[in-house]
């Protein structure tokens, strides 16, 4: 079930400003069909008109011969309204003299780029005559450039607002538009592939600075396809720069970008819609401003007017941006663990009417390098990726067009773990897929080894638990080991149904366990792991053993279940006096005290 890792990722923990409640913000409340600030989710969606063949607002796609820049706050000469300098601009999309987007357009496909200043930031694109929605399109770290594909409904006057939470430079390029139709059409309908497919992966051969990589989509797209829907992933960038997916026959270098990287070693994905010849070979090319590995996955295509048949399937219905899933919300799945899946149902009005949806998927507070895969729910998870990052604690978005399953919507598979946010921008008409698999069962969170932080309130002790240790305390350097606790090699890790053992000094290296004999049954300790989990244990017994490793380990396993044992030296039996002078006191290396605790609970902190 695990998809192939495209060796891929980037960005930190800032998606929506806490406590911000702009006018007009609407939110889908899962399981209720209600929207905060609206009577129902259906109020955000075009309703079907009586006797209409298609939903009101259903539109077909028109791609421009090449992308056209409409706004760039870094340069003079672009016409747009600056509502809040460096933070909020209004851009006219339709009815302009410099780009062929008609006033009848219902939605636009854009590339929006933000060049951040010195703050974490996010950007939302929305119709200019509607309030700021709870959604985001871009997320960025300080002093970085980030681009993302954006599908957005247009206002009644054909304009959009681009809202940045913090000051930054904003760039808007238009790639195409949707125009309403009244019934079946040939061209401009979106047809998803049965499953996403990998078209090219240049590894281990890295294209150089200023290079063009040819990508042949012919095996994946039929005659009659006028544009391919792809995901471009850049792996192991060598410097800051930009990358563009473009038609094969358009000369370069391009004047717009598909995605941007801010430095070496980045992994970044960006969706793109690229025109292809309707007949014959369907070639596109990828321009690399900087050397990097290039990976291209293909997800579907748009039909043409000549070779495609008429249908109402694949028409796009734009909606007011609305949040479908945020795993940070109370009652949600929480911060996901490696190889976890979350289902994202569709709201009323979309469910049952959509074959595919246009969403923005964001990984938030990532656990480590990894990726997200978006796919129809309860179907096979494809060997491709949609969102990629290279670091922990990143926040990374990407535009996704994905097929959906009736009743269950879509899923997001998480390769290494993060929070997941999904925002909806519209849907494509047609019949959803039928589920073919049972619900995905998430595996337990993975075991995690040291370093840990051990807290023993009875002793007033906070100690770093480090890995490695032969199980013989007198082999430990009493100077360099001051205050530390050692994990007993070969015993369990946190989150394993196993017996964990640690050991430390009672008299040397600061004597952290000098008073361990004062612990009593019922005492609690906590162990905090490097991946942010806290495990609570309760003392259940203590044992005295000699220094033989086998006997010490047998004592740590004496209590059934998931346990944690602290091992330290003690006096034990004095053979010269045939007595136990103080069998639990420190000073002797001949015997061991083993304090064993059982797992009570764990939580993420």
Predicted confidence band at 581 (pLDDT cuts at 50, 70, 90)? Answer: low
Q: Under DSSP, is residue 554 helix (H, G, I), strand (E, B) or coil? A: helix
Rounded Cα distance, 95 and 105, in Å: 9
Rounded Cα distance, 41 and 336, in Å: 27
pLDDT tens digits, one per residue of 458-507: 999 999 999 865 444 444 454 445 678 999 999 999 999 999 999 998 87
Rounded Cα distance, 438 and 520, in Å: 48
What is the structure's pLDDT at 584?
Answer: 65
Rounded Cα distance, 54 and 545, in Å: 79
Residue found under tokens 């544009």: 227
**Which has more pLDDT, 585 or 551?**
551
Buried b / exposed e along 512-551 (16+ C-beta atoms within 10 A): bbbbbbebeeebebbbbbebebbbbbebbebbbbebeeee
Domain 190-303: which topology? Answer: Jelly Rolls (2.60.120)
pLDDT tens digits, one per residue of 269-326: 999 999 999 999 999 999 999 999 999 999 999 999 999 999 999 999 999 999 999 9
pLDDT tens digits, one per residue of 338-367: 999 999 999 999 999 999 999 999 999 999
Rounded Cα distance, 73 and 170, in Å: 6
Distances (CA, A) of 314 to 184, 273, 347, 353: 10, 15, 19, 11
The secondary structure of 284-321 as a DSSP string is: EEEEESS--EEEEEEEEEEE-SSSSPPBSTT-EEEEEE
The secondary structure of 203-247 as a DSSP string is: TTS---TTEEEEEE-TTTS-TTEEEEEEEEEEES-SSSEEEEEEE
**Which has more pLDDT, 394 or 580?**
394
State the distance between the two ends of the chain, measured CA to CA, in whole angstroms.
29
471-479 CB contacts, 8 Å cutoff, 24+ apart: 471/503, 471/549, 471/552, 472/547, 472/549, 473/503, 473/504, 473/505, 473/568, 473/569, 473/589, 474/589, 476/505, 476/509, 478/505, 478/508, 478/509, 479/509
Rounded Cα distance, 382 and 384, in Å: 6
What is the structure's pLDDT at 278?
Answer: 92
Asked if the model's pLDDT at residue 255 lies above 50, the reply is yes
Q: Under DSSP, is residue 403 helix (H, G, I), strand (E, B) or coil? A: strand
What is the structure's pLDDT at 547?
Answer: 87
Tell which residue, 154, 153, 145, 150, has the closest CA to residue 110: 150
* R_g of the chain, CA atoms, integer Å: 29
Rounded Cα distance, 139 and 423, in Å: 13
> Across-strand partners of 500?
564
Q: What is the mean pLDDT of the chain?
A: 87
Q: Can you give the pTM of this predicted structure?
A: 0.82
Q: How far is CA 381 from the centre of its chain?
A: 16
What is the structure's pLDDT at 345?
Answer: 98
| Chain region(s) in the chain for CATH 2.40.260.10 | 452-604
* Helices and strands counted in the chain (H then E): 1, 35
Q: How far is CA 59 from the centre of its chain?
A: 30
CATH code of the domain made up of 452-604: 2.40.260.10
Rounded Cα distance, 91 and 474, in Å: 72
Residue 530 DSSP label = T
| Chain region(s) in the chain for CATH 2.60.120.40 | 190-303
Q: Is 456 exposed, middle or buried (0-12, 13-18, 19+ CB in 10 A)?
A: buried
Q: How far is CA 212 from the centre of its chain?
A: 29
Tell which residue, 335, 143, 100, 306, has the closest CA to residue 240: 143
Q: Under DSSP, is residue 149 helix (H, G, I), strand (E, B) or coil? A: strand
pLDDT tens digits, one per residue of 191-227: 999 999 999 999 999 999 999 999 999 999 999 999 9
What is the structure's pLDDT at 6?
Answer: 37
Contacts of residue 328, defined as CB under 8 A and 6 or more positions apart, other chains included, come to 334, 335, 364, 419, 421
pLDDT tens digits, one per residue of 74-103: 998 899 999 998 899 999 999 999 999 999
């Amino acid at each position: 079930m695990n998809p192939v890792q495209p060796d891929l990722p980037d960005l930190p923990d800032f998606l929506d400003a806490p406590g911000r409640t702009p006018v007009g913000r609407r939110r889908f409340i899962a399981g209720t069909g209600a929207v905060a600030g609206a009577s129902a989710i259906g109020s955000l969606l075009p309703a079907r008109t009586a006797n209409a063949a298609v939903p009101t607002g259903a539109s077909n796609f028109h791609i421009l011969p090449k992308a056209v820049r409409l706004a760039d706050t870094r340069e003079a000469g672009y016409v747009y309204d600056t509502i809040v300098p460096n933070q909020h601009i209004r851009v006219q999309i339709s009815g302009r003299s410099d780009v062929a987007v008609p006033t009848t357009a219902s939605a636009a496909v854009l590339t929006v780029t933000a060049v951040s200043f010195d703050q974490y930031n996010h950007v939302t694109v929305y119709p200019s005559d509607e309030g700021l929605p709870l959604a985001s399109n871009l997320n960025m770290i300080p002093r970085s450039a980030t681009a993302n594909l954006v599908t957005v409904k247009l206002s009644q006057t054909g304009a959009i607002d681009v809202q940045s939470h913090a000051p930054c430079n904003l760039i808007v390029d238009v790639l195409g538009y949707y125009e309403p139709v009244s019934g079946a059409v040939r061209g401009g309908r979106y047809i998803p592939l049965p499953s996403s497919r990998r078209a090219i992966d240049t590894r281990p051969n890295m294209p150089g600075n200023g290079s063009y990589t040819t990508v042949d989509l012919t095996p994946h797209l039929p005659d009659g396809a006028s544009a391919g829907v792809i995901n471009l992933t850049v792996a192991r960038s060598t410097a800051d720069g930009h990358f563009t997916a473009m038609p094969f026959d358009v000369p370069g270098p391009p004047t717009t970008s598909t995605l941007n990287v801010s430095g070496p070693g980045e992994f970044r994905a960006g969706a793109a819609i690229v025109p292809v010849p309707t007949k014959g070979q369907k070639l596109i090319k990828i321009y690399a401003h900087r050397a990097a590995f290039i990976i291209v996955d293909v997800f579907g295509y748009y039909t043409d007017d000549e070779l495609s048949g008429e249908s109402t399937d694949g028409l796009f219905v734009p909606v007011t941006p609305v949040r479908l899933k945020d795993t940070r919300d109370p009652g949600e799945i929480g911060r996901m663990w490696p190889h976890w899946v979350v289902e994202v149902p569709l709201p009323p009005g979309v469910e049952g009417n959509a074959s595919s949806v246009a969403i923005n998927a964001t990984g938030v507070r990532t656990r480590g390098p990894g990726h997200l895969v978006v796919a129809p729910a309860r179907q096979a998870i494809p060997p491709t990726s949609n969102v990629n990052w290279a670091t922990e604690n990143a926040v990374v978005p990407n535009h996704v067009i994905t097929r959906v399953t009736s009743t269950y919507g879509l899923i997001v598979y998480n390769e290494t773990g993060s929070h997941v946010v999904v925002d909806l921008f519209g849907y494509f008409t047609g019949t959803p897929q039928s589920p073919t698999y049972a619900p995905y069962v998430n595996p337990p969170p993975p075991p995690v080894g040291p370093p840990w932080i051990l807290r023993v309130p009875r002793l007033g002790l906070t100690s770093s638990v480090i890995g490695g240790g032969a199980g013989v305390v007198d082999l430990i350097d009493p100077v360099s080991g001051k205050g530390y606790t050692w994990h007993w090699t070969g015993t369990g890790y946190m989150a394993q149904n196993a017996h964990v053992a640690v050991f430390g000094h009672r008299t040397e290296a600061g004597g952290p366990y000098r008073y361990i004999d004062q612990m009593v049954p019922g005492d609690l300790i906590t162990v905090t792991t490097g991946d942010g989990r806290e495990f609570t244990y309760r003392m259940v017994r203590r044992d005295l053993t000699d220094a033989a490793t086998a006997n010490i380990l047998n004592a740590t396993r004496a209590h059934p279940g998931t346990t944690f044992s602290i091992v330290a030296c003690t006096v034990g039996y004095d053979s010269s006096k045939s007595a136990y002078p103080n069998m639990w006191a420190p000073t002797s290396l001949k015997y061991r005290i083993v304090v064993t605790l059982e797992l009570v609970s764990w939580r993420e902190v």
